[in-house]
Copies of this chain bind each other. A is one copy, B any other.
Amino acid sequence: MGSVILGMTMSLDGFINDPGGSVARLYPDFDQLRETEQLREAIRNTGAVVMGRHAYGMGDPDEYADNYEFQAPIFVLTHEPPQQHPRENDRLTFTFVTDGIESAVAQAKAAAGDRDVTIIGGASTFQQCLRAGLADELQIDIMPVLLGGGLRLFEHLGTEPIELEKIGGAENPTPVRTALRFRIKQRNK
């Protein structure tokens, strides 16, 4: 059985984009990042992907089948599926899930089989997963910048602490990043 992995890149002050909505300062190493062993390993281990509607819409939906790094079933959490179903291929399919994050993660786990489910933000999907205790592992890359504003990653989690367990030996994928890896000790499990 694989793990459900929440992964995000944030500034040291906890933002996943800047006050203007740009992520440029968080990905100065964008080109380098796509060539890393860490990404290749994530791709090998990922059996299904969950993403929020906003994250889905950041790319051209019809381009995923050709260009998306994770060629795996994708579950998009949304209130309203798009009228035209995006292009798929043998490995990459789209399922639009309208009945909540628990359902999206459950469907993704079934599709992933023994492999991992990778949750690709945005912030709201990320927070819903944490609140509902659906994730096993937290992978946070910290970038060397204070953005001072923007979209906060860790918010709306409730005020009961969530204990984490540091996973040692995480290698930084590129020199500017600091890779933090934690096992999530669930509140209610």
Q: Residues of A at under 8 Å CB distance from B?
A: 12-14, 18-19, 25, 130, 138, 140, 142, 144-149, 154, 157-166, 168, 175-176, 178, 180, 182
Contact = CB atoms under 8 A, between A and B. Distances in A.
Contacts of A176: 166
A175 B168 CA distance: 9
A144 B161 contact: no
A166 B12 CA distance: 11
> For the complex, would chain A's binding face be called helix, strand, loop or mixed by DSSP majority?
loop
B162 A148 contact: yes
5 contacts: A19-B159, A144-B163, A147-B161, A148-B160, A166-B178
B182 A161 contact: no
B146 A162 contact: yes
